[in-house]
Amino acid sequence: MNIIEENRKHFSYTLQHKDQNSQARAGEIITPHGKIPTPVFMPVGTHGAIKALPPSFLKPHNIQIILSNTYHLHLTPGADLIAKAGGLHRFMNWPGPILTDSGGFQVFSLQGRSLTEEGAIFKDAKGKDVLLGPEKSIEVQQKLGSDIMMAFDECIPHPATRQYTENSIARTHRWLKRCLKSWTQPEQSLFGIIQGSTYLDLRQRCVDEVCSLDLPGYAIGGVSVGEGHELMKKIVSHTAPLMPKNKPRYVMGVGTPEDLLMIWENGVDMSDCIIPTKYARGGTFYTNRGKIRIQHKNYRRDFFPIEPNCSCYTCKNFTRAYIKHLFDANEILGAILATIHNITWFQNLAAQAREAILENRFVEFKKNFLSEYQGR
């Protein structure tokens, strides 16, 4: 029995319902560390922690799965140390599912990196060269013990020429096959990544090649890299329906409410982004009527919660005036309360979308939500 067949004992996806008026779908992912109803939004804990939030706050606020980053954990504290601690779940005291990014985004985002057939070469904090390639990425992720591992790829920048894109995806596909050969832990699942920049025929080519490997799941990569909402929509609406119906579909790095609703409408199950937590630490809160900047003077005497109908710890216990005071005084508690609210708000959005899909009213839900959120 090969690794993919063995993995099916530990990981599965069930399509539970498809909306009658769109491609939106509701499903369930089963992993060794728990079930994940979809669509799902994954908060990002790059270094093995959701910034400004203890793990004990995650489950009570309906967080089902989090994302951590292979590249950063590889550099510090190191995969060997985390393995000795019993894996990332025990190391960070999080019992639920974890997805680890492969480090491929760093191929795109870090300055001073160079690419070879063996992988990507980066500078660490001390200026020392670090090689991260397919074999090392999978080795590190298996030591971390994540439920879902991502194949090592190049996140193609925007804009990119057709020739650059063709060369990049060819190398990414070679890397994927090396990742597959390095995968030895069947309780962990390996997802392939579909690149292709803005070239729809190349996206089709990637779907055909990557999905022919019959991996547990697949992701659309190389979006949310500066191409804008309409171009992202064009890519996702073309690519997602081509992907297998019986496997999870993941769009990497997408996190604005408008973008989330768009990808869900096109049949995507999973997404992640730093937006909720990053914006929270800067004092920006998400509400059903749009974003608010809590440092604004109007909130000095505002004794209502951030979102009157929100059941999160922040909204149930504190007022806008108090939270503004915390940010004005540079108190850490402000960032904590903002993070709790924002990730809860995003989880509620995903839960409401799932309910709408199950009731065949996703298109109406999206229209009504955006009308209120954008103030139209």
Q: Which residues are designated catalytic? A: 101, 272
The DSSP annotation for 108-174 comes to: HHSTT-EEETTEEEEE-TTS-EEEE-HHHHHHHHHHHT-SEEEPP-----SS--HHHHHHHHHHHHH
What is the rounded distance in angstroms from the CA atom of residue 195 to the CA atom of residue 153? Answer: 9
Q: Which of these, 346, 347, 357, 351, lies nearest to 257 by C-alpha position?
A: 346
Segment holding 83, helix H or strand E: helix 79-84
Residue 156 falls in which region: left (phi positive, over 0), alpha (psi -120 to 50) or beta = beta
The set of residues, in sequence order, having a beta carbon less than 8 Å from that of 72 and lying 6+ positions away, is 46, 47
User: And the tokens for 337?
Assistant: 């309360």
User: And the tokens for 227?
Assistant: 């191409």
Task: Let me know how long the chain is.
Answer: 376
Segment holding 99, helix H or strand E: strand 98-101
User: And the tokens for 196?
Assistant: 């292709």
What is the rounded distance in angstroms from the CA atom of residue 160 to the CA atom of residue 140? Answer: 30
